[in-house]
Amino acid sequence: MTQTSLNLLLASLFVFTNVFLPLKAIAQTRLINLKCEYLVNPIGVDAPKPRFTWQMVSNKKAAEQTAYRILVSPDSAQIYTGKNSIWDSGQINASTNLVEYSGPQLQPFTKYFWQVLVEDEAGKQITGAATASFETGMMQSKNWRGSWISDNNDIRLKPAPYFRKVFSAEKKVKSARAYIAVAGLYELYLNGKKIGNHRLDPMYTRFDRRTLYVTYDLTPEILAGKNSIGVLLGNGWYNLQSTAVWDFDKAGWRARPTFCMDLRLVYEDGSEETVTSGKDWKTALSPVIFNSIYTAEHYDARLEQPGWNTIDFDDSKWNGVIYREAPSANIVSQMLHPIRNVQEIPAKSIRKFNDTNYVFDLGRNISGVSKIKINGPAGTIIKLRHAERLYPNGHTDISNIDIHYRPTGNTDPFQTDIIILNGKGEESFMPHFNYKGFQYVEVTSSQPVTLSKESLVGYFMHSDVPAVGVVSSSEPVINKIWWATNNSYLSNLFGYPTDCPQREKNGWTGDAQIAIETGLYNFDGITIYEKWLADHRDEQQPNGVLPSIIPSNGWGYEWGNGPDWTSTIAIIPWNIYLFYGDKKLLADCYENIKRYVDHITEISPTGLTTWGLGDWVPVKSVSLVELTSTCYYYADAMILAKAAKILGKPEDEQKYTTLFNRIKTAFNQKYLNLNTAIYADGFQTEMSVPLYWGLVPEGYKSKVAANLARRVAADNFHLDVGLLGQKAILNALSENGYADVAYKIASQKTYPSWGWWMENGATTLYENWKIDAKSDISLNHIMFGEIGAWLYKGLGGIKPDPENPGFKNVLLEPNFVAGLDHFEAKHDGPFGTVSSSWRKKRKRILYTVFIPANSSATVKLPKINGLRVFADRKPVSADTLHLESGKHKLLWK
């Protein structure tokens, strides 16, 4: 079962029924979910000080870890005895479940086992120690043995190259690991079999500054005697042959794809051998006659070479390879949840126009690929055009997603795979090195073919991040919005967050900073974001400037950047800290955040900045760019001051505290009318953004919030915001006493609203509130996705506590809004599942909370006229309530 199947809400609930074990199923207290670098038993670890995490589960209330001890050893048999350990942390009296390795230097290519022993609140060791493993990779570039190789063709040649080599394993193999670094994309084969289920490896980086390698365990696949390795290389973003407004075809790194590989064999007798990429490999062109990550893939089945990756294949007509310079000097392990074909989507319907023209409908919008099975005469040309919508006549319409494409001819049609059949019976095709955004696939054939609804399926592709959140309510449109938001979030996660999976596929920073909380409430995304923030560090100019899209070939340093977009450098590390309690990313990015904030300060001597795009794609009212950008400048400075405190930098803490207070003063002097408590023109965005980011003076918060609520009422409880306003408005209302107003907006079913999209059949979020807009109308965009986080915060009330991050202490601030009878949110954080569920029944409200072991919660109790509060059957008079771990029932009656 894949980790993030999101076919139906019931499917999500099924996942959580299995992931989040019912209390009755837990036997006393035990440890689960041991991870290293946030992955289960990873291989290829390059981190010199890897992080260990675990969870404690218990059926006892107030269960707590009071001490831990970690042992690390290369000997699995001895680790239980404590002998031969390379590191013994000793007993540490602490409740933390995030520990960094602090032993001797780890050796490359070594499997280590680690054990954690924990004592509970009574000082008793939890029965049964928990053990897991991790295996180091190259650790340092000097450990590579292979050479970078490619074929002797230039960037203009379209067919993708095959590479092969036969080697012998003459002794019994104990372990076999392949380490492959690629500039471009690849598929790896051994003895005719594709290795692994990853797609589009390695992830996209700034290729001339950082190159990723992937590690495989090939032990079960190695044969005694001869073996054959095969590699198929694709272009990816490294050698983009399609042309669009971002000029990736002119990237300075651009070259023919290349790879370096070490296959390390360890024999039972203790000897070792490394099979490497070098001049003894051979190469030929493949049937993949064109591949573009941006547009599509073309395949000529008549050029297939059966068995090209097997031992006995005759490669006498193949060519030699050439040596290539490494694309960068920084080759590091790809340690993240990979892209996969996560879910197969059968076609919902098929429309036949004639024997050469069919349209398939998947019934939902996805990112990914289609796979077709088809029979036809040799030479038959099949075209599969992928689209999000149809013309009134039923044919596919791509006019909303091809507007930035700049083709130089007609050989590379947008989102259109082209297959040439070999006529040898039923053939199947699925792209190797491309993905698209689509719901419909139009098939046209140069000769008559017979197709049925079962002839084509779609595959929902994305970074296969584990699901960690679920929402359900008594209002169907809210459930649909949550599901659609997750679909758009995943559709835009491919080793880096993107804006849309069709028109651009760019790592737009603004969309990502908007969606960070939505992502983290719903999915375990830390490995993706740590990789992407490394991309930020690669891209940052010495003066602190970042491009608006990351990674970038150089585009975006002059347009689209500014604090409302590129504050990702501060906002994302801060949210990772809040959600995981892990300060590593803050530390890694600290100097980068400083350079960024210092640059804004340098160009903004008044404390106000006009640098930015502003409230992108608003409904009608256009807010001032200086107002919104200054709010983000303030947020960046505040995050920097907080990071300085966390990281023990008191001088910086004081410096940037002074800065954010100066920004706040300047902002309010210019934009806040002290008589009316209205900012600027009083538009929804202009009122909600200062409230959300904390610039409103304490004595004016209630007045500004009341004015915002009145403005919303004047707008008939509908949205009048763009990208930045939708991030703020629901939170600004619900956090300041107007949750009912926020819910009215969130649950609207008429234009402009999220529900309006749902009422019109949306299965993802759109780029424009107007479904008939003439521009900015991708039908799978995450930029309006903050509502996916607000459901957890504004209705369920689940929030991380900045003073005890990582949900060590959970802040619970539920809102029992009018118009909703039942709501439940669950989030699986670092300590386990937090559940917040409320239900109204006959003038009573039952609020059920579950707090995982080794954590606690602070509940802000809603005041409801005429009702008293009881917690676990005991009356409560205070405004807040502290809860230990376990299940609790609160009743308003």
431-484 confidence digits (pLDDT tens): 999 999 999 999 999 999 999 999 999 999 999 999 999 999 999 999 999 999
* HSE-CB of 800 using CA atoms within 13 angstroms: 25
Residues 372, 384 contacting (CB under 8 angstroms): yes
d(CA 837, CA 701): 29
Mention every residue, 6+ apart, whose C-beta is less than 8 A from residue 653.
641, 644, 645
Closest to 41 measured CA to CA, from 5, 89, 76: 76
Residue 841's CB is within 10 A of a number of other CB atoms, namely 9
pLDDT at 77 over 90: no
Q: What is the DSSP letter of 397?
A: E
Task: Please say if the pLDDT value at position 149 is more than 50.
Answer: yes
pLDDT confidence of residue 330 = 97
Q: CA geometry: angle at 355 spanning 384 and 361, to 5°? A: 45
Maximum pairwise Cα distance, the chain = 88
pLDDT at 378: 98
Its pTM stands at 0.96
Bridging pattern class, strands 349-354 and 436-445:
unpaired
What is the per-residue pLDDT across 764-819, written as a single tens digit (0 to 9) for each?
999 999 999 988 899 999 999 999 999 999 999 999 999 999 999 999 999 999 99
Assigned token pair, 643:
């990071």
Q: What is the pLDDT of residue 19?
A: 38
The pLDDT, as a whole number, for residue 81 is: 76
pLDDT at 501 > cutoff 70: yes
pLDDT band, very low/low/confident/very high, at 14 (cuts 50, 70, 90): very low
Please name the residues in contact with 277: beta carbons below 8 A apart, sequence gap of 6 or more. 146, 147, 148, 149, 163, 165, 259, 260, 261, 262
User: Would you place residue 310 in the very low, low, confident or very high pLDDT band (cuts 50, 70, 90)?
Assistant: very high
Amino acid 27: pLDDT: 46
Check if the beta carbon of residue 293 is closer than 8 Å to that of residue 433. yes
Give the DSSP letter of residue 793.
I
Instruction: Give the Cα separation of 414 and 451 in Å (integer).
Output: 23
Contact between residue 292 and residue 241 where contact means Cβ atoms under 8 Å apart = yes
* Residue 10: band (very low, low, confident or very high) from pLDDT cuts 50, 70, 90: very low
Q: Rounded mean pLDDT of the chain?
A: 95
Q: How far apart are CA 189 and CA 195, in angstroms?
A: 5
Angle at 199 between CA 138 and CA 521, to 5 degrees: 90
Other residues' Cβ atoms within 10 Å of the Cβ of residue 411: 10
Distance from the Cα of residue 588 to its chain's centroid? 19
Give me the percent of the chain exceeding a pLDDT of 90: 94
Q: Which uninterrupted H or E stretch holds 706?
A: helix 701-714
How many Cα atoms within 13 Å fall on the side-chain side of residue 237?
27
pLDDT of 690 above 70? yes
For 449, half-sphere exposure in the C-beta direction (CA atoms, 13 angstrom radius) is: 29
| pLDDT tens per residue, range 698-726 | 999 999 999 999 999 999 999 999 999 99
Strand partners, 136: 45
- Determine which helix (DSSP H) or strand (DSSP E) holds 755, and give its type and residue range: helix 754-759
Q: Does residue 728 have a pLDDT over 80? A: yes
Q: If residue 226 lies in a helix (H) or strand (E), which one and from where to where? A: strand 225-234
Sheet holding 856-860, edge to edge: 798-800, 809-812, 856-860, 880-883
Task: Tell me what pLDDT residue 129 has.
Answer: 67
DSSP string of 605-658? TTS----S--S-S-SS----HHHHHHHHHHHHHHHHHHHHHHTT-HHHHHHHHH
Residue 265 three-state SS: strand
For the stretch 74-80, contacts whose Cβ atoms lie closer than 8 Å and that sit 24 or more positions apart, written own/partner, are: 74/110, 74/111, 74/112, 74/113, 75/113, 76/113, 76/131, 76/133, 79/113, 79/114, 79/115, 79/131, 80/115, 80/129, 80/131
Is the pLDDT score of 20 beyond 90?
no
Helix, strand, coil percentages (3-state) for the chain, rounded to 5, are 25, 30, 45
Distance in angstroms (rounded) separating the CA atoms of residues 468 and 470: 7
- As a whole number of angstroms, the distance between CA 601 and CA 603 comes to 6
Query: Parallel, antiparallel, or unpaired for β 258-267 and 173-183?
Result: antiparallel
Residue-wise pLDDT for 348-363, tens only, equals 999 999 999 999 999 9
Residue 107: DSSP 8-state: P
